[in-house]
Amino acid sequence: MIIDGFHIPSVETLTPAGLVILLVLLFYFQKVVPIGRVRDEQKTTEYWRDAAEKKQATIDKQAETIHVLAEGVGKTVEKVMSTIQEKAGVDK
């Protein structure tokens, strides 16, 4: 049996000390990860996912607001220019 390049003759022939050494080596080479570390990584991932979703929602709302404001400015400019042309007596 080979675990990550370590040749293990047989699991039955391992002594308790050998099993402890094997477990320590697996922890050292990060092939076995403590559940606490996994949960911490899951919390971190969830935090950043939520932050990205909030940021995207803010960007979408800003884009919508800018679009509405740009349309309003365009209509206002059109009205102002029409009024100026009318007052000046220029035909459209």
pLDDT in tens, 16-43: 888 888 888 888 888 878 889 899 999 9
pLDDT at residue number 8: 66
**If we measure between CA atoms, which residue out of 26, 20, 22 comes closest to residue 8?**
22
pTM of the model: 0.53
Asked whether the beta carbons of 32 and 25 are under 8 A apart, the reply is no
Mean pLDDT score of the chain, rounded to an integer? 86
CA distance 92 to 82: 8
CA distance 66 to 76: 15
- The amino acid sitting at 4 is D
pLDDT at residue number 66: 95
Share of the chain above pLDDT 70, in %: 86
